[in-house]
């Protein structure tokens, strides 16, 4: 697709997001399963439901453009999920692993926040008001999730466990 107009860039970004959200629908249950903290598990379960509605909202946004909902591989999300899954499969202290899962999840939310902020603005510029509202709603849910993860990180992470495992796991990976 040639990027001659803002509309083509908008569609391009929507396809990236559509694929990214669908990747997350598959990844979030694995993150919920791997998390030890009940609060963190619940946060992922809730965000999975929200993510399913993010997919549906994007479908409505495509509809306002008379475009079929179509994804285009989001390599960034693929990479973020791949890195995150390395942490899911590690052995170690539960709270340290939970902290690692939170870092991975926050990277995902920040990616989504950047993308939704842009497409929301593009929708406004293109006069797609209904879509702008839908994208803004999703943007707010991504931000709230990020905030919740911040809070969970404070609650979950037991500083003693972190310091101790630092001493034990002195072998470094470079
Ligand atoms: Fe999302
Ligand atoms: Fe999200």
Q: What is the whole-number distance in angstroms between the Cα of residue 107 and the centre of ligand 2?
A: 10
pTM greater than 0.95 = no
**Gap from CA of 109 to ligand 2 centroid (Å):** 5
Q: How many CB atoms within 10 Å of residue 82?
A: 11
CA of 21 to the centre of ligand 2 (A): 8
Of the listed ligands, the closest to the CA of 116 is 1
99 contacts 156 by C-beta, under 8 angstroms: yes
How far, in Å, is the centroid of ligand 1 from the Cα of 160? Answer: 33
Do residues 84 and 101 lie in contact, with contact meaning Cβ atoms separated by under 8 Å? Answer: yes
Distance from Cα 25 to the centre of ligand 1, integer Å: 9
Q: How far is the CA of 16 from the centre of ligand 2 (A)?
A: 14
Tens digit of each residue's pLDDT (9 = 90 or more) over 58-106 = 999 999 999 999 999 999 999 999 999 999 989 999 999 999 999 999 9
Query: Which ligand approaches the C-alpha of residue 46 most closely?
Result: 2
Describe the chain by its helix, strand, coil percentages, rounded to 5: 80, 0, 20
Identify the nearest ligand to the CA of 110 by its number. 2
pLDDT in tens, 94-141: 999 999 999 999 999 999 999 999 999 999 999 999 999 999 999 999
């Amino acid at each position: 697709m040639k990027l001659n107009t803002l509309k083509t860039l908008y569609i391009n970004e929507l396809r990236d997001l559509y694929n990214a959200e669908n990747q997350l629908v598959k990844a979030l249950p694995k993150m919920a399963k791997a998390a030890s903290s009940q609060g963190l598990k619940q946060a992922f379960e809730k965000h999975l439901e929200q993510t399913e509605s993010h997919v549906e909202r994007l479908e409505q946004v495509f509809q306002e453009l008379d475009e079929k909902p179509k994804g285009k591989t989001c390599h960034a999300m693929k990479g973020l999920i791949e890195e995150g899954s390395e942490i899911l499969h590690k052995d170690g202290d539960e709270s340290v692993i939970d902290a690692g899962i939170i870092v991975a999840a926050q990277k995902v939310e920040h990616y989504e926040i950047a993308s939704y902020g842009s497409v929301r603005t593009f929708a406004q510029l293109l006069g797609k008001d209904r879509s702008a509202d839908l994208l803004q709603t999703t943007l707010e849910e991504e931000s709230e999730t990020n905030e919740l993860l911040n809070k969970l990180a404070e609650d979950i992470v037991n500083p003693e466990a972190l310091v101790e495992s630092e001493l034990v796991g002195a072998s470094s990976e470079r």
